[in-house]
Structure 1
Amino acid sequence: MGKLTTSPPPPQATELRRWTLSEAADLRGLRASLHEELTGNVLPEGGSLEEVPELIVLIATELATNALRHGIPPTIVRLLATADCLILDVADHDLSTMPDVDDSRPEVAGGRGLQIARAVSLDVGWYATAETKNIWASFPRA
């Protein structure tokens, strides 16, 4: 088991887009909308993405799924940008738990979103506000 670094994303990051999710059915719309935001193109049914956008969409889906399953809705997904990176910030309203990276859980048990995020992003961290617990991951800007 491991804890994530406690730190907010870079303060100079600006918000590009925000999504509010209430249930798992909202994930499909998040994926399509995030892809369009990142590439300027609509994702065709069954289409694949370029590497960085695909990783961002994958991590957004994983972290939002965790927040919907284990947090208190609504889940808020934000895409932020700095001069050299894109940042996903996923928030839920459960302030009673801290994010935990469980390396001992079998892969079939699920809950691998944080491990995947750590493996494919530049950095991952978390922070709390008065109302939300936020997990963020940063990616190189294409």
Structure 2
Amino acid sequence: MGQLRTSPPPPQATALERWDLGTPAELRDLRASLRQALTRHGLVQGEDLDEVPHLVVLVATELASNALRHGLPPTTVTLLTADGCFILDVADHDLSTIPELDDTNPLDSGGRGLMLAQSVSLAVGWYATGDTKNIWASFSR
């Protein structure tokens, strides 16, 4: 198992929208709402228009699902922007564990969200606040 780098998103990151989730059933609404938010906040038109929202939504779903399954509620998903990127920040309230990359058993129930995030995003990191553990990933805008 490996560890993610410990660092918050860039300090100039600005929050665009936020979702609070209490159950896995809310993931469906998150996916639809997040797609709309990416469009609303100026996802640049181009040949990758469908790919970027798909990847952001996929990573959001995986990370939020892991937080709901293994963390303490509520799970908070925040869409931020900084330096021409979208940043997805997923927080839960379990400060007793640290995120680990589990590449030893890819079919196991844990760690895939982090591996996916690392493989499709520009950068991934994690940090803790006084009451949350946050994992973030950045994507081209």
Which residue does the alignment assign to 1:131? Answer: 131
TM-score normalized by the length of structure 1 = 0.90
Note the C-alpha offset of 1:83.
3.1
2:22 is equivalent to residue 8 of structure 1: no
* Inter-partner Cα distance in structure 2 for 1:133 and 1:123: 17
* Inter-partner Cα distance in structure 1 for 2:106 and 2:80: 32
Which residue does the alignment assign to 2:89? Answer: 89
Identity of aligned pairs, percent? Answer: 67
Which residue does the alignment assign to 1:110? Answer: 109
* Inter-partner Cα distance in structure 2 for 1:117 and 1:9: 15
Question: Which secondary structure state, in structure 2, belongs to the residue aligned with residue 16 of structure 1?
Answer: strand
Letter of the 2:97 counterpart: T
Question: Which secondary structure state, in structure 2, belongs to the residue aligned with residue 96 of structure 1?
Answer: coil
Note the C-alpha offset of 1:81.
0.2
* Inter-partner Cα distance in structure 2 for 1:132 and 1:53: 26
Question: Which secondary structure state, in structure 1, belongs to the residue aligned with residue 29 of structure 2?
Answer: helix
* Inter-partner Cα distance in structure 2 for 1:88 and 1:2: 21
Map of 1:29-44 to 2, 5 A cutoff?
29-40=29-40
* Inter-partner Cα distance in structure 1 for 2:60 and 2:113: 9
Letter of the 1:8 counterpart: P
Unpaired segments ≥5 residues, structure 1: 41-48
Note the C-alpha offset of 1:127.
0.1
User: How big is the alpha-carbon RMSD for the aligned residues of Structure 1 and Structure 2?
Assistant: 1.0
Q: What's the CA shift string for 1:68-88, capped at 9, x where partnerless?
A: 000000000000001310000
TM-score normalized by the length of structure 2 = 0.91
* Inter-partner Cα distance in structure 2 for 1:110 and 1:96: 19
Moved over 3 A (4+): none
Map of 1:65-80 to 2, 5 A cutoff?
65-80=65-80
